[in-house]
Structure 1
Amino acid sequence: MPISAVVGANWGDEGKGKFTDLLAQHADFVVRFQGGSNAGHTIINEYGKFSLHLLPSGVFSPNTHNVLGPCVAVCIESLKKELQELERCAVPRPTLIISERAQLLFSYHKLFDILEEERRAGADFGSTRSGIAPFYSDMHSKIGVQLHELSDEAALRRHFELILPQKNILLRELYRHPGLEIDELLAEARVAREFLSPFLCDTRVLLGKALQQGKQVLVEGQLGTLRDIYHGIYPYSTSSSPLATFAPVGLGLPAREMKNVLAVTKAYSSCVGQGPFVVELDGAEAEELRRRGGDSGEYGATTGRPRRVGWFDAVATRYGVEVQGATEVALTNIDVLGYLDEIPVCVGYRNRKSGEELRHFPAQTEQGQMEPILVRLPGWKQDVSGVREFSKLPKEARDYVAFLEEELGVSITRISNGPRREQVIQR
C-alpha cells in the first residue's frame, strides 16, 4: 500500500497529533521522519492527555510499530521521559524502532542553543532551546554521531578529539563558558548506547519490506509548512523539512510511494515563536480567542508560551497546502469559533506602503509590510462540539467550511470539533 502522511499546513500546532492518533488505529507503522523534541503533539484519548515530543503518535495503538527515522534528532532524556509517562498512565508498552542512522542529540547541542539565544538577546530566533539548530548544523557539517557509531568507543574518542577544539574555542572565546571534556561526552554516549541498543535497526529495509507486503505506513511531520527550513519563514523556521515530500527522502523510500497527504489546519490561525504573522490579533480580542482555543487554551505544548493568534489566513494556508502537495485537508478547532457573531477570514494581503494587493504568500521580509484583507462571514453562535455529522452542523458553519475549501482549492474531508479522538466529522 502507498505511504500516507499527516502534516501541518501552517506554523505548527495545527492538531496533527490527534489525526495521526486517529489514523494510527488502522496503520501498521507510524513514522516520524524529521525533527526532534522541540515541538509537541497533544493527544487526548481513553488513557488521558499527552504531549508527545519525540515518540510517534501511534504509540496508543497496540498493533502499531512506531518508528523514528534517520533524520530525527534523538534525545534520550525526552525519549525516556515520554516512555515513563506512558507507563505511568497504564498505556501498553509500544513497539518502538529507531533507525541506526539517526543521530544522537548531545547535551552540548542544548548548551549551544541556549548560549546562542542568550547572545542574540533581542534578535533571537525564538528557539525552544532544545538543541535542534546546533544538532542539524553538526549533521550537515558531518560531525554528528549516528547511533550505530555508539558501539565503537575508540572511534568515538577519536571523533571527539577532532571536534572539541572547534567547539571549545566557541564556548570559551565567544560565550565565555567552560569547555567540554571528552570523558564526560563518552560517558553520555555510553548511557545512550545502553538505552537505545534494543531499539535500533535498519529502518529503510524494514519499511521497504513493509511496503512490498502491502502494510499501511503512516508518516507524521513535526511543525508545519511555514516552519520549513527551505520554504518557510526563514530564519524563523525549524532546521529540518516537515514537508510530506521530504518523508521519502528522509526515510530512504521511493518517492512514488507517497500518495495520500492530509494537511491539517485550524479554523483560525495560531503561531508559537517569532517571525512574521500577518493576521496576528492583540489585546482583548486576541486573549478571548486564545482562552477559548483548544482543550486548555492556546499555549505551546513544548514551551507553555502563549500562542499568537489570528483569524484564518487563506493566503498562508493555501501556500502551505500547495507546498505540502495535500490531497485532502483536515480542519480543526471549528468548535472554538462558536462565540462569534461574525468570523473574519483573511483572503489577501495589502502592502501598507504601496497599496498593492496579493493573493500569493510572499517572502518573510515582505510579509512585515503586509496587512490582512478580511471578509466577514456570519457566525453560528452555538456549541457544535457534540455534532458527528456534517449535515447536522448549523448552516453558517457548513458555509464557513465551504468558503475555506473554495479558498484552498483542496477538499476539506475531516473536521475536528473538539480535542478528543472521537470528536471528528467525516465528510
Structure 2
Amino acid sequence: MAGKVIIGAQWGDEGKAKIIDILSEKADVVVRSQGGNNAGHTVAVDNEVYKFHLVPSGILYPGTLCIVGNGVVIDPEGILGEIGMLHDRGISTDNLKISLRAHLVMPYHKVLDGIKEKHRGDESIGTTKKGIGPCYMDKVERSGVRVCDLLNPEVFEEKVRRNVEIKNAMITKVYGSTDTVDADEIIKNYMAYTKALKQYFADTTVLVHEAIESGKNVVFEGAQGTLLDIDLGTYPYVTSSHPITGGVCVGSGIGPTKIDECIGVMKGYVTRVGKGPFPTELFDETGDQIRNVGHEFGTTTGRPRRCGWFDAVIGKFAVRTSGLTAIALNKIDVLADIDKVKICVAYRKDGEIIPEFPASLEELAKCEPVYEELEGWGQIDHIRTYDELPETVKKYIARVEELCGAKVTMIGVGPNRDQNIYR
C-alpha cells in the first residue's frame, strides 16, 4: 500500500502543484478530493506553464490515472475548458475520471455567490464568485445536483426546475436582484456538457480502492490550505470544504488506514488572499519584495497576495491537525538577498504569550508575532543538493523543523521540476 497525501499547510498557494507534479512522476493514480475551480495549481515544466483548477496536475504524465473525487464540486463548463486547453497543447485526457457522486456547480450558484458577496458589503468574505460555497450549501441542505443525475435526464430536469424556482425567489425577493436564471437554458446546456463529459464518468471510489489494494502508488492532491478549512481555519474567511488530510478520506471514499504518508507543503514565508487577521503580514518594502520575487498573484483571480514572515504557530497547528509526517518547504529562494529573515515562534496578546493558534478570529486579530531573527542568504536557485546549501539556509530549515514538529524532506529553490532538493 502506498497512499500519499499532499496538502497545503498554510492559507493555500504554497506551491503544492510543483510537489504534486514531482511525486506524480512515480504515481499510478492522482486523486483530487475537495474544492472546486476556485482553487488553482500552477505547474512549470520545461519552460511551459500549465494552470489547473479541477483536473489533477498528474495529467501531464500519460500513464497516470487522474481522478476527480466525490468531494469535489464540478463546474462542467470549467472542466471542459481545462480539457480543451490540454488537448490544444497535445496532452491526452484519456486517463481522466470524474466521480458520479460529485456535486455540480450550477449557474444559480454563481449568481448567488456574487449577490451574497455584494450584499455583505464591508463584511464580504472575498470568494472567487465561482459558486463553490452555494454549491456546498445545497449539498449539505440535500438539494444538490450530482454528476450521476446527468445520466438520468428526467431526474436532472426535475431537480433543476425545482431548484431554479427556489433560487429565483431568493434572488428577487430576498436580495432584490433581477439576475434570475432560466431552467430551460440550464437543462439544454448541461445536457450538452453531459455529451462531452460522459466518457469520463465513473465510480471513482472503486477505482481508488482497487488501486491501493493492488499496491499501486496513489497520490492525493490537496487544494487550498489548512487555515482555509471550514472547521479548523480562520472562520468565516475560509473555503467550503476540508483541505486537511481528514478531508481526503471523505472526499475520495477511502478509509484513513489506506494512507501511510502525509506531506504538508509550506512556503518559507506565508501568504493569504482575501480578508482576515494575518499576524506576520508585512506592509513594507520586504513584503513587496517577497510578493514580486515570488510572483504572489492568484492563479484563479490574479489578485495580489498578502505576504508575511514564516509563522511556526501555523506550521505546528497544521502538523498536529493533519498528522503530517513530513514538510515540503517551498520557495525559500524567494527570501534570497534579505539580510535578516524572521520566524514567528509564538504570539503575544495583552502581554501573554500564546503558543497555539487561537480559534477566535477576534482573539487572533489582537495577537502580535513573537519573532526570532536569523541570518539571510544569497541566491540559491542554482543549487541542487542539500549539502551545497549555505549554512544559514540549513539553520533556517532546522529551526522550522524544531518549531513545527516534522522533518523537512523536500526543499524548493525555484518553480521548475528540477529545482527541488530531496533529503
TM-score interval for Structure 1 and Structure 2 normalised by the shorter chain: over 0.9
Say if 2:150 and 2:194, in contact at 8 Å, map to a contact too: yes
- Residues in 2 aligned to 1:167 and 1:118: alpha-carbon distance in whole angstroms: 17
Matches for 1:221-300 after TM superposition, within 5 Å = 221-293=222-294, 297-300=295-298
Tell me whether 1:27 sits opposite 2:27 in the alignment: yes
Tell me whether 1:387 sits opposite 2:383 in the alignment: yes
Partner of 1:372: 369
Matching residue within 416, 419, 423 for 2:415: 419
Say if 2:171 and 2:179, in contact at 8 Å, map to a contact too: yes
Matches for 1:8-407 after TM superposition, within 5 Å = 8-46=8-46, 48-93=48-93, 95-175=95-175, 176-293=177-294, 297-351=295-349, 354-363=350-359, 364-380=361-377, 382-407=378-403
1:184 deviation in Å?
1.6
What stretches of structure 2 of length at least 5 have no aligned partner? none
1:189 deviation in Å?
2.1
- Residues in 2 aligned to 1:62 and 1:390: alpha-carbon distance in whole angstroms: 31
**Identity over the aligned pairs, expressed in percent?**
38
Amino acid at match of 1:362: P
- SS class of match (2:279): coil
- Residues in 2 aligned to 1:87 and 1:157: alpha-carbon distance in whole angstroms: 31
- Residues in 1 aligned to 2:201 and 2:234: alpha-carbon distance in whole angstroms: 34
Partner of 2:406: 410
- SS class of match (1:233): coil
Q: Deviations over 1:82-136 (max 9, x none)?
A: 2222223333445100111112111211111111111112110010111110010
Amino acid at match of 1:138: D
Amino acid at match of 2:374: L
Structure-2 change in CA distance of 1:177 and 1:15 (3 Å): same
Q: Deviations over 1:229-255 (max 9, x none)?
A: 010011100000011122122222122
Say if 2:99 and 2:201, in contact at 8 Å, map to a contact too: yes
Aligned alpha-carbon RMSD (Å): 1.3
- SS class of match (2:58): coil
- Residues in 2 aligned to 1:138 and 1:32: alpha-carbon distance in whole angstroms: 21
1:370 deviation in Å?
0.7
- Residues in 2 aligned to 1:158 and 1:95: alpha-carbon distance in whole angstroms: 32
1:310 deviation in Å?
0.4
Q: Deviations over 1:317-347 (max 9, x none)?
A: 1101211110000000111111111101111
- Residues in 2 aligned to 1:111 and 1:86: alpha-carbon distance in whole angstroms: 28
Amino acid at match of 2:369: P
Count of residues in correspondence between the two structures: 421
Structure-2 change in CA distance of 1:94 and 1:339 (3 Å): farther
- SS class of match (2:318): helix
- SS class of match (1:223): coil
Deviates more, 1:371-380 or 1:243-252: 243-252
